[in-house]
Amino acid sequence: MMNKIIILNGPNLNLLGEREKDKYGKNTLKDIEISCKEFAKKNNFEVSLFQSNIEGELVDAIQKAREGFNGLVINAGGYTHTSVAIHDALKILKIPVIELHITNIYNREEFRHKSLISKIASGIICGFGAEGYIMALEAMNNKYLK
């Protein structure tokens, strides 16, 4: 069966490409979805994307990923820095988790320097803009998918 990766995006990332383009770039989430699906197709795996502004919906999506997925990429947005619930849900997973951020959270405000996700992530990609999503898929494919 074909390998499947899920990419989760947290609060406000639905606004990508519409506001704060200087910080988060000009790509919309739809543009990112199209390029991720293109990359996955070329590399013979499947990818699905889910975005929510609601913490509990992200927890539900993480729990659902226990069945039928081979890896998870998460940009938890602002919840990265606050959500014990997302941390706990990710900790239960047996598949590799890549933490992703569009910006370099370590050269921004102090409150972004702490991530509750990093401790359970297999790896972290941050600061490379929308390209980071493809980098995460590439890492997932090269390192974890058989």
Query: Which residues form the catalytic set?
Result: 24, 101
The residue within the footprint of ligand CA2, chosen from 51, 61, 72, 101 (CB under 6 A), is 101
Distance CA 51, CA 79 (A): 13
User: 136 near 74, Cβ under 8 Å?
Assistant: no
Supply the minimum distance, in Å, between the C-beta of residue 67 and ligand CA2: 26
Does residue 4 interact with ligand CA2 by CB under 6 A? no
Closer residue to ligand CA2 (CB): 105 or 140: 105
Site for ligand CA2 (CB under 6 A): how many residues?
16
CA of 85: how far to CAs of 35, 50, 65, 68, in Å?
A: 30, 18, 15, 22
Binding residues among 56-85 for ligand CA2 as defined by CB under 6 A = 75, 77-78, 80
Window 104-123: contact mask with ligand CA2 (x via CB under 6 A) = -x------x-----------
User: What are the tokens at 18?
Assistant: 């519409």
Q: How far is the CB of 127 from ligand CA2 (least distance, A)?
A: 8
Helix or strand run (H / E) with residue 99: strand 97-101
Using the rule CB under 6 A, which residue among 35, 82, 103, 122 binds ligand CA2? 103
- Length of the chain, in residues: 146
User: What is the C-alpha to C-alpha distance for residues 70 and 45, in angstroms, rounded to an integer?
Assistant: 10
Please state the closest distance from residue 81 (CB atom) to ligand CA2, in A: 6
Region of residue 20 (left: phi > 0; alpha: psi -120 to 50; beta: else): left
Give the interface with ligand CA2 as residue ranges (CB under 6 A): 12-13, 15-16, 19-20, 24, 75, 77-78, 80, 101-103, 105, 112
